[in-house]
């Protein structure tokens, strides 16, 4: 499938949390179609180290990128923490009623406030430029609650992830509504569970609840991101693009 698109060539795109699993697929695809991608992350492999919990780090990172590149066309807020059940994350062993406040605070700080902080600085720059496009990566769990029965016995999908991702969606609608006339768009990419190294049993249980009978792939999530980054989505703002193989919530 050709992904050629003239509007993408030479666009300067800042990707947060770009060293992670999906981030690597995103940056690879965007580069393939001629986008200048600046990968930011707290991880040392990043082009620019930028910690989304630290406003100074964000201000400095985006300022440097703008000076070097001359503009910032798109910011993709992809950085997040997601205590995945399958790598033995301590959070997943807590029941809802015992969930530690510290874990909730940490998710709010990275997933929700992190996105908000980056948007604040990006919007200042985009208002000066008179154009800009923000894509916030949420999750289908920001739209619909997890089905706890698909998770291994003794674990739960913790509450902090869906709650913070739902917050990212409303933050994006707020921005879209307030800054559209300044030439700024803001949409949400909401992936479903992406197939990786999950246990076969989990993959099967998950897949029973999707219309396509499988999990999502990183490539199809990346294709949807490409659409939101490109001018093909120029008529859209404040929208949530869900790519979840047709998850059936109830």
Ligand X SMILES: NC(=O)c1ccc[n+]([C@@H]2O[C@H](COP(=O)([O-])OP(=O)(O)OC[C@H]3O[C@@H](n4cnc5c(N)ncnc54)[C@H](O)[C@@H]3O)[C@@H](O)[C@H]2O)c1
Can you give the binding site for ligand X, defined by CB under 6 A?
16-17, 19-23, 41-43, 51-53, 78-82, 110, 114, 137, 139, 191, 193-194
Pairing of strands 12-15, 74-77: parallel
Nearest 5°: phi and psi at 72?
-130, 110
Q: Which tokens hold the place of 222?
A: 């990346």
Nearest 5°: phi and psi at 77?
-90, 100
63 touches 69 (CB < 8 A): no
Residue with smaller CB distance to ligand X, 43 or 234: 43
Nearest 5°: phi and psi at 73?
-80, -45
Please report how close the Cβ of residue 117 comes to ligand X at its closest, in angstroms: 10
Please report how close the Cβ of residue 157 comes to ligand X at its closest, in angstroms: 11
Please report how close the Cβ of residue 183 comes to ligand X at its closest, in angstroms: 26
- Rounded to an integer, what distance in angstroms lies between the CA atom of residue 222 and that of residue 6? 18
Please report how close the Cβ of residue 54 comes to ligand X at its closest, in angstroms: 8
Residue with smaller CB distance to ligand X, 16 or 91: 16
Q: Which residue is nearest to ligand X (CB)?
A: 20
Q: Which residue shows structure tokens 């016995």?
A: 153
Residue with smaller CB distance to ligand X, 15 or 33: 15
Please report how close the Cβ of residue 22 comes to ligand X at its closest, in angstroms: 3
Residue with smaller CB distance to ligand X, 111 or 133: 111
Q: Which burial class, exposed, middle or buried, applies to 134 when counting CB atoms under 10 A from its CB (0-12, 13-18, 19+)? A: buried
Please report how close the Cβ of residue 221 comes to ligand X at its closest, in angstroms: 8
Residue with smaller CB distance to ligand X, 73 or 244: 244
Residue with smaller CB distance to ligand X, 19 or 184: 19
117 touches 58 (CB < 8 A): yes
> For residue 122, what are the CA distances in angstroms to 24, 26, 28, 118, 128?
22, 20, 23, 6, 10
Strand-pairing partners, residue 243, are 191
């Amino acid at each position: 499938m050709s992904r050629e698109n003239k509007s993408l060539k030479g666009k300067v795109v800042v990707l947060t949390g770009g060293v992670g699993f999906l981030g690597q697929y995103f940056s690879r695809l965007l580069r393939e179609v001629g986008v200048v991608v600046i990968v930011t992350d707290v991880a040392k492999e990043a082009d620019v180290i930028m910690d989304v919990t630290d406003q100074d780090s964000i201000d400095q990172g985006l300022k440097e990128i703008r000076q070097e590149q001359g503009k910032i066309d798109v910011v993709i807020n992809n950085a997040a923490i997601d205590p995945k059940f399958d790598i033995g994350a301590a959070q997943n062993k807590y029941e809802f009623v015992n969930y530690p406040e510290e874990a909730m605070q940490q998710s709010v700080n990275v997933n929700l406030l992190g996105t908000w902080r980056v948007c604040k600085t990006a919007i200042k720059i985009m208002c000066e430029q008179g154009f800009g496009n923000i894509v916030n990566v949420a999750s289908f769990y920001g739209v619909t609650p997890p089905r706890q029965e698909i998770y291994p016995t003794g674990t739960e999908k913790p509450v902090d992830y869906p709650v913070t991702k739902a917050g990212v969606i409303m933050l994006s609608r707020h921005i879209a509504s307030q800054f559209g006339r300044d030439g700024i768009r803001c949409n949400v990419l909401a992936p479903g569970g992406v197939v990786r190294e999950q246990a076969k049993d989990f993959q099967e249980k998950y897949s029973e609840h999707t219309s396509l009978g499988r999990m999502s792939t990183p490539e199809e999530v990346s294709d949807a991101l490409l659409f939101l980054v490109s001018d093909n989505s120029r008529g859209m703002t404040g929208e949530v693009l869900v790519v979840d193989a047709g998850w059936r919530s109830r």
